[in-house]
Every structure is written in structure tokens, then in C-alpha cells.
Amino acid sequence: MEKIVDIIESIAHEKGLDIKEVRNTVTVALVKTAKKIYGAQYEYGAEIDPATKTLKLYQKVIVVPPEDERLLGGNENFIGIKEAKEIDPEVEIGDELTYELPLDNLGRTAAATLQKELEYHIQRLLENNIFEKYQNLVGKTVFGTVARVDNDENTYIEIDEVRAVLPRKNRIKGEKFKVGNVVKSVIRKVLIDKSQGMYVELSRTSPKFLESLLELEVPEIKDGLIKIVGSARIPGERAKISLLSLHPNIDAVGATVGTRGVRINAVSKELHDENIDCIEFSSIPEIFIARALSPAMISNVKIQNGKAIVTLPSDQKSKAIGKSGINIRLTSMLCGLDIELVESGASTPSDGTIKDDQPQKDPNALKNLFGNL
């Protein structure tokens, strides 16, 4: 067990692990080995001597009163105070004595057992570190190379140390990948499966993928000058995203769209030309809903019992609903409210749940409509 520190440093460097974690793993492996060799009924401890840089194994014994029941039957985990005083005159009841166990004479069986224990615990340490790494990447965009596509069209992608899976349901409609393709996606979830080990699921349909792409494309978002308040998507068709500027001289929508739409178009292209509406967020829900329902011109918005009652001219209703109801559904998803459309002067309301993120065309419309808020 000489030069154990050098061995630990070598393992840590080779595996990319923290030296302290490897040291702890080595001592845990030695204690496990001792339980298998000397007996699991005893208590053990292990440490690395900083002076000699060697590994030492101890058996722990607790000092108890002479009448303690645990002394009966020859339980070697406990020692009476009288006997303990003979070893160390300053010891007190409740203290712990340690006996060093020699490692040089453990034999081949113990050495083989220690090697297996060490390999097992180092592997667990590696897996835990990788798991924590990818847990911290949930919601972030990653790149990977397609390694396999199974019969169910689930796509397996190599990302550094792991093979992640992009399920068919998490693909944008119409997408197909081949082995060797480089795919960009967001990490949706990471978990430990008892049969398969670590499972990393990717997604290209999650709103988080849109947000992550925008963060990569728009420096002001990455730098925290613009905040993404929320987003909603119907993958491959249309999306709405609400933006808030945290700097007085930055236009959140303008900066995100970019000159001649260069930034938003780059993100849209990655999403198979998904139409992305950028909406300026407002803390006043009535104003925010009116903005989100663009390009429809809204007459009035009233919040009642967790529902938004939206009044609008009859010729604006189809715009508010959108093709196949997509605009009102997205608005409802983005604002978190059901939306009921009421035509101006109509007695029968029209229900729906859709939204849009284009700005109001009439600059005075919101001021006129919501001046009483």
C-alpha cells in the first residue's frame, strides 16, 4: 500500500475526477474489503497518512461502562472502561479506540477483493459525476452525432460520454435523421433507470429548445439584458415568446428579431421554418393578452374568474383565432388563461384558447383601450 497518494492522483487524472473524491472512494473500498475479509460484524475505519502517504486500516472499538450489556458474549465492537484505561489512561466512556490492522499480510484474496471494490466504487463515482453534469444541463442545448435510429424511429445520439435518445414524439413533424447527422437538441430530462442505467432524453419540440436557441443566437439574452418571460410552441408551425428588456436602452423585441430578422430567422430555420412571434411582456395582463393576440386588433380585455374576456370587432375574430385555432391556443398557453372572444355588439360570445405575439399595429390602440387600467 506504499505510494497510495501517487496511485490516487493517477486515477483522478486519468478519469477526470476530483482527488478528494477518489481518496474517499479508496477508503470506502478498503472498509468494504475489511468487512468481507475480517467480518461484517465489526466496525472499521480507513485513512491516508499524510506523513507516510500510505493507506491504513483500523478496527473501531467503543468504550462502555463495565456493566454494559454489549460486553456480554464477547462483542469485539465494545470494550470496558477498565480495560480501555490500560491501553490509554486518558480515555473516557463513549470514546472510540482504534486498532490498526496490518495490510501487508492480507493475502491474494484480500488484494483481489480490494481491486474489485475499488473498480466498483470508482465506476459509481464516474457515473454520479456524469449524472450530475447532465442534470445541470437540463434545459440547455447540446450537439451530438446520430449513432442509430431504431425501428420505432427513436434517434440515439452520441454526446460526449453518453448516448442520449431523441424519441420520435420529441421530433419536429417531418424530421428524419440518418447515422452521422449532427443534431442540435435540448436536454429534456435525466434519470437513472434500474435496467438501462443513466437515461438522457432529448427534445426538439420543447419550448425550452426555442428559448435555448434564442439564448445562443441573441447575445443580449445570454448576457441577461433581455429576459425570456415565457414561451409556447406548436412545433414546426408557430411559436410565441414573451420578452422583457432589463436595460432602458435595449428594445427586447427588436434585439431578438435582429437586423432584417437575421437572428429570429436563424432560429426559425433550425426549427423547420417555424413562425416565431416575439411579444413585449407587460405585467398588466390585459395589455399582455392584447399584444399576444396580434395581428388581431382588440377593443377590450377583461379578466373574470380566471378567464380573459376579449372584445373585438367581428372582422378581427378570424385573425385572433388564427388558422386551425393556432393563434388563440398559443396565446392561451403563453398567458396561462382561457380566452373567450366576444364580438363587438354581439349577444353570443365565442369561446377559444389562442394567442399571438405580434405587436399592435395601431400605436394608440392600447393607450385608448386600457387607459383606465
Statement: residue 347 has pLDDT above 70: no
Range picked from 30-44, 64-78, 256-270 for highest mean pLDDT: 256-270
The pLDDT mean for the chain works out to 85
Q: What is the pLDDT of residue 345?
A: 59
User: Are 274 and 233 a contacting pair, CB within 8 Å?
Assistant: yes
pLDDT at 75: 66
Percentage of the chain beyond pLDDT 70 is: 89
How many whole angstroms from its chain centre is CA 365? 42
Q: What is the pTM of this model?
A: 0.70
Tell me which CATH code domain 285-369 carries.
3.30.300.20
- CATH homologous superfamily of 4-133: NusA, N-terminal domain (3.30.1480.10)
The answer to whether 4-133 and 285-369 have equal CATH topology is no
C-alpha cell at 13: 487524472
Q: pLDDT tens, 139-172?
A: 999 999 999 999 999 999 999 889 999 999 999 9
Question: String of b and e for 294-322 (b: at least 16 CB within 10 Å)?
Answer: bbbbbbebeeeeeebbbbbeeebbebbbb
Domain extents in the chain? 4-133, 140-203, 208-280, 285-369
Band of residue 34 on the pLDDT scale cut at 50, 70, 90: confident
Is the CATH number of domain 208-280 3.30.300.20?
A: yes
- pLDDT of 284-331, one tens digit each? 999 999 999 999 999 999 999 889 999 999 999 999 999 999 999 999
For the domain covering 140-203, report its CATH number.
2.40.50.140
Averaged pLDDT for residues 184-211: 91
Q: Tell me the DSSP string of 271-308.
A: TTS-EEEEEE--SSHHHHHHHHEETSPPSEEEEETTEE
Determine the distance from the C-alpha atom of residue 244 to the mean position of all C-alpha atoms in its chain, rounded to a whole number.
24
Nearest to 95 by CA among 78, 107, 112, 110: 78
Backbone angles phi, psi at 95, to 5 degrees: -70, 170
Q: Report pLDDT for 359.
A: 40
Give the residue, 157 or 352, on which the prediction is more confident. 157
d(CA 93, CA 65): 6
Residue 78 has pLDDT above 90, yes or no: no
Q: Can you give the pLDDT at residue 357?
A: 37
Question: Tell me, what DSSP letter sits at residue 24?
Answer: H
Instruction: Out of 26-35, 243-252, 326-335, 363-372, pick the least confident.
Output: 363-372
365 vs 11: which has the higher pLDDT: 11
Contact by Cβ (8 Å): 302, 334: no
- With a cut of 60, say whether residue 2 has pLDDT above it: no
